[in-house]
Amino acid sequence: MGRRWVFLIGLVGAVWLLGSGHGGQQPPVTAAQRCFCQVSGYLDDCTCDVETIDRFNNYRLFPRLQKLLESDYFRYYKVNLKRPCPFWNDISQCGRRDCAVRPCQSRYTGYKGPDAWKIWNVIYEENCFKPQTIKRPLSPLASGQGKSEENTFYSWLEGLCVEKRAFYRLISGLHASINVHLSARYLLQETWLEKKWGHNITEFQQRFDGILTEGEGPRRLKNLYFLYLIELRALSKVVPFFERPDFQLFTGNKVHDAEKKMLLLEILHEIKSFPLHFDENSFFAGDKKEANKLKEDFRLHFRNISRIMDCVGCFKCRLWGKLQIQGLGTALKILFSEKLIANMPESGPSYEFHLTRQEIVSLFNAFGRISTSVKELENFRNLLQNIH
C-alpha cells in the first residue's frame, strides 16, 4: 500500500512538472513574446494599461485620425531646413534621394548608423537631466557596459522627481516611435523598375527583442505608450480651444473646411471619452518657485533638441524630427495651461492662451505618428507570433 501511494504521488508530481514547465524542456518562446511579453498590464507612473490603449487607438481612433490628416490644412508646416548645425561641423549629408524633402511622400529614408546615433546620443546625454557619470544601457558610444551599469542607470532614473523621469521617458518614447516607423516602412528590395517597401521583422527585433536588447526593447515600447498617453491627454484638454466658432481649418474651401472641423471635433470628443487618461496633476505640484524653474528647464531642453535636429543629415528626417519635437512641446504647453484654457472667452481673440497654426499642425501630425506606431505594433505582434 505504501509503495502504491509513493508511485501515485510521484506520478502526480511528474504530471505537474510537465504541465507547469518546471520539468524537462521549457515550452518554446515566440519572437512576439520576447518583444511584447513585458509590454502589457499597467504602465509605470500611470493607471492605464496597454491593452486598453491598443483597443482605443487601433479600432476607434486611428482610421478617423488618418482621414483628418489628409486635409491640406495639416500638410503645411514651415521649417527652415538650411540652418547650420550649431554643435559640430562634420555633419555628413545623406546622399540618398529618399532623404530629400518632397511633398506627400513617406517612406524609410535609409538614414541610420553612426550619424543617427550621434544625434540621439547628444539628445540623451545633454538634455535629459543625466549626469555624465551615469551610462545609458546599450549606448554604442560607451563600451564595456554590464548589468551593474544598467542597474545604476535605472536606480538613478527611479530616484529622479516625476517630472524629470517623465521627460526621459518622453524622449525615449519618441525614439521608439521613430524606430517602429523605420521597421514598418523599410526598403526591402530595390530594382530599376520598382521599390518594395514593407515590415522588416529583423530590424524590429534588433531594436525591441527582449533578449537581443538585454531587456531594453520592452522598456522602449512602454515609453512609447507613455508618450501616447501624454499627447492623448493634451488633446483632451484643448477641446474648448477648437470648439470656439472663431477657429477654422482654413484652406480656402468653405465646405471642405467645415467638414474637416466637424471631423476634428468628433475625434477630440472621442479622445475626451477615453476612460483612463493620464493624471498630470502630480507634475509641478511642489514649491511654486522650483516648479517654474523646472518648467523653464523643460522649455529650454525642447528648444535645444529642436536645434540638434539641424545637425541631421537627412532633410526629411530633419523635417519630421522638428515637427515631432514641436508637437510634443505643444502638448506639454497645453497640459500646463489648464486654467488659461478654462478662462478663454467663448468668442473673439484669446490673449492668454493661443495656438498658432504651426503648433496645431505639429500637434496633430506628431500624435498621428505616435498613433501609427501603436497601430504598427499590432502588425508586428501578428508577424512575430509564429517565429521562434
Question: Which residues make up each annotated binding site for FAD?
Answer: 107, 109, 120, 172, 175, 207
Q: Which three cell numbers stand for residue 264?
A: 476634428
Q: Which three cell numbers stand for residue 146?
A: 554590464
- Nearest-angstrom CA–CA distance, 165 and 157: 6
Sign of CA dihedral 302, 306, 312, 318: positive
Provide the H-helix boundaries in 72-215: 114-127, 147-158, 162-184, 201-208
Residues 57 and 51 sit within 8 Å (Cβ to Cβ) = no
Residues 271 and 61 sit within 8 Å (Cβ to Cβ) = yes
Residues 312 and 119 sit within 8 Å (Cβ to Cβ) = yes
Question: DSSP per residue over 222-270, as a string?
Answer: HHHHHHHHHHHHHHHHTHHHHHSTT----SS-HHHHHHHHHHHHHHHHH
Closest by CA position to 376, among listed 58, 40, 15: 58
Which residues are annotated as catalytic?
314, 317
CA angle, 274 then 247 then 280, to 5°: 35
Q: Provide the phi-psi class of 138: left if phi over 0, else alpha when psi is between -120 and 50, else beta.
A: left
**Which residues are part of a known binding site?**
107, 109, 120, 172, 175, 207
Helix (H) or strand (E) holding 186: strand 186-190
Q: How far is CA 55 from CA 65, 105, 276, 278, 300, in A?
A: 15, 28, 12, 17, 36
CA angle, 287 then 281 then 151, to 5°: 80
CA angle, 176 then 178 then 182, to 5°: 115
